Structure 1
Amino acid sequence: MSRGGRDKEHGEIPERRCIASGESYPISKLIRFVAGPGGEVVPDIAGKLPGRGIWITPNRASLEKAIKKKLFSRAAKTQLTVPDGLFELVERLMAKRVTDTIALARKSGRAVAGYEKVKGWLLTEEARVLIQAFDGSERGKSKLSSPPGKGTFIGCLSANEIGLAFGREHVIHAALASGGLTKRVVEDAAKLGALREESGDSPRKGRTSHER
């Protein structure tokens, strides 16, 4: 059995408990933190840093509660220092992870950008996920519909952020084909969308699934 009570032999995703809510969730829906060598709280966005993991659901309320009630120290069983601007740091690191993974998908031929290319992939059903910039024209974005199903739309990235993934100044429309990288992008974008949903910057940032 896994630490979260799931049986790995049956291929089920392990779960961990959020220190803020006390609820258990699949690790794909949580953000991991560890205690740094200097006794500080360190976001482990990739989930690979050494040390005992401290898990939190990706939203401002959970992070603020964990900081206010000193839940990081309680979970680590030692005094930890929380760096200033932790929420903004987590959001920035998560956005970079999403764009970096999209860039990897592009290099492997599993991602395209631009209205016509994306439209073509959607017509041939090559596209598994539609990505559109939250600050792009609503009229232009309405001309494309994401593939059917859950987790087929990502709308939490800006045009500049999507552009970074494709080596351009800005991109409004992009698409991902099926594959392991796409699965990672969808999972991480869901976390980023949850973080940005409460940021107040854009009401569309939290939309990361099929909501057509």
Structure 2
Amino acid sequence: MIAARSDIADLDDGAKRAGPERMCIVTRDVRPIAELIRFVVGPDNALVPDIKNRLPGRGVWVTARRDVLDQAVKRGAFAKSLKRAIPLAEGLADATEALLAQSALDALGIAYKSRLVAPGFTKAEKALESGEARGLLQAAEAAPDGVRKLKSAARRGDTENVPVLIFAGSQLDLALGRANVIHAALLAGSASETLLARYVRLEGFQGGESAKLAEDK
């Protein structure tokens, strides 16, 4: 945790002027912007999560965790920092989580188009066993037997500590444009790193950490 610094305010003058670190309006900690979520007020005076830090207007920053966002709403931190009355729609945390998930799925689609995703059990097993896997994509509905076999492949390939990215099967199907995707290997490349970073942010918001194949479920 980084203590608050007097030279960093909790209100910015626009997305393009946001520095590499900002202050959370709830905890008052200064963090890298990758660990925060920016919120701006839209034309209709509604608060909007700016997941990609691109929206115009003055913004405030909240630590990228659901519990901290809930505190911001409960304490009226947005109105205090923005110095104006802000009507907060119900389900702000749910809407923010949905945007984070979609951001990760968008990155998955780009990684697939960049040929950095090897879909199917056989390809995933081969990538884990050969040491080529940078991560493993897995449907939440995956059968325990398939997971067990992939763990064995990871042990043989010394890839037990690659992150496991879990999505609903329907989400994987849509992102990859394929039917019935249960397992897929993520290969090394810049698009894969973008996906991993976005997934870590999503899991952090949800209050968890990325699973590893070495971990028992």
When the two structures are superposed, what TM-score results if normalisation uses the length of structure 2? 0.78
* Equivalence for 1:33: 39
Higher helix share: 2
Higher strand share: 2
Preserved CA contact (<8 Å) 1:134 1:155: no
One-letter amino acid of the counterpart of residue 55, structure 2: L
Once residues 41 and 64 of structure 2 are traced to their aligned partners in structure 1, the CA distance between those partners, rounded to angstroms, is 18
CA-CA distance at 1:75 after TM superposition: 2.1
Between 161-170 and 88-97, the greater mean CA deviation after superposition: 161-170
* RMSD (CA atoms): 2.3
* Among candidates 179, 182, 192, match of residue 172 of structure 1: 182
Residue 185 (str. 1) matches residue 203 (str. 2): no
Between 132-141 and 43-52, the greater mean CA deviation after superposition: 132-141
Between 100-109 and 121-130, the greater mean CA deviation after superposition: 121-130
* Among candidates 70, 78, 81, match of residue 72 of structure 1: 78
* Equivalence for 1:160: 170
CA-CA distance at 1:154 after TM superposition: 3.2
Preserved CA contact (<8 Å) 2:169 2:180: yes
* Among candidates 59, 62, 65, match of residue 68 of structure 2: 62
CA-CA distance at 1:155 after TM superposition: 3.4
Once residues 132 and 4 of structure 1 are traced to their aligned partners in structure 2, the CA distance between those partners, rounded to angstroms, is 40
**Unaligned stretches of 5+ residues in structure 1:** 6-12, 198-205
* Among candidates 87, 91, 95, match of residue 93 of structure 2: 87
* Equivalence for 1:20: 26
When the two structures are superposed, what TM-score results if normalisation uses the length of structure 1? 0.80
How high is the sequence identity, in percent, across the aligned residues? 34
* Equivalence for 1:124: 130
One-letter amino acid of the counterpart of residue 125, structure 2: K
Once residues 148 and 55 of structure 1 are traced to their aligned partners in structure 2, the CA distance between those partners, rounded to angstroms, is 35
Preserved CA contact (<8 Å) 2:119 2:181: yes
**Which digits, 9 at most, give the CA deviation of each residue in 1:50-92, with x for residues without a partner?**
1223222232211111111111122222222212211111111
Larger radius of gyration: 2
Once residues 156 and 77 of structure 1 are traced to their aligned partners in structure 2, the CA distance between those partners, rounded to angstroms, is 40
Aligned length in residues:
193
Preserved CA contact (<8 Å) 1:32 1:43: yes
* Equivalence for 2:4: none
Preserved CA contact (<8 Å) 2:172 2:181: yes
* Equivalence for 1:98: 104
Preserved CA contact (<8 Å) 1:4 1:14: no
Between 140-149 and 62-71, the greater mean CA deviation after superposition: 140-149
**Unaligned stretches of 5+ residues in structure 2:** 1-6, 10-18
Between 130-139 and 61-70, the greater mean CA deviation after superposition: 130-139
* Equivalence for 1:136: 142
